[in-house]
Structure 1
Amino acid sequence: MMAITLALLALGFSAIPLTIYLANYRQYFAPPALADTNTAAKLSVLIPARNEASGIEACLASVLASENIELEVIVLDDHSEDNTAEIVEKIAAEHHSLRLIGSPPLPKGWNGKQHACWQLSQQASHPWLVFLDADVRLHPSALARLVAYAQTNKTDLLSAFPRQETGTLLEKMLIPLMHVILLSFLNLRSMRSTTAPSLAAGCGQLFLANQASYQRAGTHAAIRQSRHDGLKLPRAFRQQGLKTDVLDGNGLATCRMYRNAGEVIKGLLKNADEGIANARLILPCSLLLFGANTLPWIAVGFACYSANWYTGIIATIAIAWGWLPRCCNTLRFQQSWLGCVLHPVGILLFIILQWIAFFTSLTGKRIAWRGRTES
């Protein structure tokens, strides 16, 4: 009796995210290629940079190679302890569209990135703003395609999820979960048809915002204490009745967020309490993730122990249903097959990290990131 109960529970749990995922799969698309046009959009690309010497040159090279747009690029050196500023100044000497600005000390009550983005926005002169992380590399057509989509669909804030490059084992297991969570938990059709704040979603690595709408939403000052701009900035827009959207950026940009296991763990812990790891979501999300991806394996174990073959079949179907979104994502987004094979282990580790973040937040402690523990 226990074996069949576990198998049916696992099947039910795995069916929920799979159903949402299948509904989202075709909704999550890349912006179409540009039609012929004689009018170039005007964009301000705004890049906060703190200790980005290893990658800022490649980032700027990709931005400056953008096609079919009128561009200004502003980099804010946020008190870097390396030679980030010197690299940017050298490139700016050869490109009149690029300039570097500095930052005053971080004010109390501000997160470093949000303060940097807010300052950058004050310097922007174009009607469209692109907030870009320094570890992102753009395709030459990316910005023009994004702004064309935003104009056509009257979108106030548009986010694209770049293709995530991974190197270490933890990266391969955990980073691709951003697409699993996005496409298995959020109803994209409902997100696009309403401006409900509860349906806010985005990727803080790459945002395109209409300047006027950005001001109406309260700018980054509205989320000044947050570390989770990917969630909080779209929510600020939606609270003002503004339209936000997310797109597949796999062919538009690439990004490698972390370089080792320590960075992966700290990166997932630093803002988890603003996402899943809060009192409202931690339990239901953990149950759903565990039930869809780990419980089926427990059910198989019970089926083998009891030699109940039809229970084993049900549990095996639940395993396949839980794994299918990760397998489809691995093909579509060029993700690691090793990470895909280890998906159940990655899910279990992800759940553990969410609970660590939850209990850490209860103590009032903050995970240091880029040398800062400020909110």
Structure 2
Amino acid sequence: MLLLIPIISLLCAPAIWVIFGRPRYVPIWGKAPCRPISVIIPARDEEKNIHTLLTSLNELSVKAHEVIVVNDGSTDRTAEIARDLGAMVFDSKPLPTDWKGKPWACQQGAELATGEWLLFLDADTRLEPKAIAQLRHLTDHENHVFSICPWHTVKRPYEQLSAFFNLLMVVGMNAFSLDRKSIDDTRLVGQCILIPSSIYRECGGHASVRGEILENYQLSKVLKSMGIKRCCYLGKNSVTMRMFPGGLIELWRSWKKGFISGAAEVPGMTIFWTSLWITGMVTATVALALVAAEQTPLFLTLSASAYLIHAMQCWIVFRRVGSFAWYNALLFPVSLIFYHLLFFTAIIDQKRGKTTQWKGREVS
């Protein structure tokens, strides 16, 4: 009976390719049109990130039309740093009771922008030198909205724990599946959204998702109902990010704040294939742990094969979404345990009615 454990693991292994077997990167179609792109950055206590982002914008081979930073009640040097680096900085008006902070800041920035296209960026992102030149190629498609999944730059060991969260967030965009029909239900990534200003006004902008924690998912639904096509790409060599320079507690709180809400928005079939793949990794780990008890050559061979296959898969898919280390893939049970620990903590807190605080505000 123990032989069934590694066999189940091996049977589950192909599931990841069903949902992440067609990676796509920002395409380049002919000569890029010269449509002006306004960059809008909502920023609340982002002094650790804003300098890196704005420096990258200043070093672009093709500059943005304008860079607007909406200072969302920061208590640190966010606004001062942004002004010093040449951005137009506007202090957010008081937060209305029926709005979440990020949609409110984005809406105000959009109302100030004058470009034909609006590029919403989170403060922890960074543009590679040719990014705007690449994105300009997309602006030839006026009935589309685009989103880039930033490539996660990992610098410290604790940041390796983001691997499964980062990967499954990208998979949850429903844009990289082998099933091309699923692309009709593509989601937008909140860190980087490129949208024509005309479509933004037509759909009501962030006002249409004013009270949402994960405004990007809900905005995707609004655009879908209007018949607007959404396209999502991987950001390696164009848009990058470093999410948690502030330590492990920041990492924990950030992933936890929208975890349950985000999972509820992922398409059912994506959840099915994701769960199947995770089941394969769990059973591979269990099988390897049982090798000492079941020392037959066949069990050892199947167990080692299952574990190594899943480790290799993790190495391939982790590197599609970030600079995760080889040892993270080899020791994937560590990141997987952390993922499940946060998952169950989030569920328990939700059942207890406990809210999550983020930068001084209640977000869930």
TM-score (norm 2): 0.87
Shift of 1:155: 5.8
Aligned 1:52-91 pairs, distance under 5 A: 52-68=46-62, 71-91=65-85
Aligned 1:258-269 pairs, distance under 5 A: 258-259=244-245, 260-269=247-256
Pair 1:30 & 2:58 matched? no
Pair 1:159 & 2:147 matched? yes
Structure 2 unmatched ranges of 5 or more = none
Shift of 1:289: 5.0
Q: Is the 8 A contact 2:349 2:355 kept in 1?
A: yes
CA deviation string 1:165-213 (max 9, x = no partner): 22333311324642355349946357865664xx333322211112222
Match of 1:136 in 2: 125
How far apart, CA to CA, are the structure 1 residues paired with 2:13 and 2:54?
Answer: 43
Shift of 1:252: 0.9
How far apart, CA to CA, are the structure 1 residues paired with 2:136 and 2:182?
Answer: 21
**Equivalent of residue 173 in structure 1, options 157, 161, 166:** 161
**Equivalent of residue 237 in structure 2, options 245, 251, 273:** 251
Match of 1:205 in 2: 191
Match of 2:221 in 1: 235
Report SS of the residue matched to 2:347.
Answer: helix
AA aligned to 1:127 is E
Q: Is the 8 A contact 1:77 1:100 kept in 2?
A: yes
AA aligned to 1:317 is S
AA aligned to 1:44 is S
Shift of 1:268: 0.9
Q: Is the 8 A contact 1:69 1:143 kept in 2?
A: yes
Aligned length: 361
Q: Is the 8 A contact 1:164 1:176 kept in 2?
A: no
Pair 1:366 & 2:355 matched? yes
Report SS of the residue matched to 1:67.
Answer: coil
Shift of 1:350: 0.6
Structure 1 unmatched ranges of 5 or more = 93-97
Per mean C-alpha deviation after superposition, the further-off stretch among 343-352 and 166-175 is: 166-175
Distance 1:336 1:231, change over 3 A: farther
Match of 2:331 in 1: 342
Shift of 1:230: 4.3
How far apart, CA to CA, are the structure 2 residues paired with 1:264 and 1:257?
Answer: 8
Q: Is the 8 A contact 2:153 2:240 kept in 1?
A: yes
CA deviation string 1:70-98 (max 9, x = no partner): 51111111111012222223334xxxxx4
Aligned 1:103-142 pairs, distance under 5 A: 103-142=92-131
Give % identity: 24
AA aligned to 2:344 is W
Root-mean-square deviation (CA, aligned residues, Å) is 3.0
Distance 1:9 1:110, change over 3 A: same
Q: Is the 8 A contact 1:30 1:247 kept in 2?
A: yes
Distance 1:214 1:320, change over 3 A: farther
Q: Is the 8 A contact 2:145 2:195 kept in 1?
A: yes
Aligned 1:10-25 pairs, distance under 5 A: 10-21=9-20, 23-24=21-22
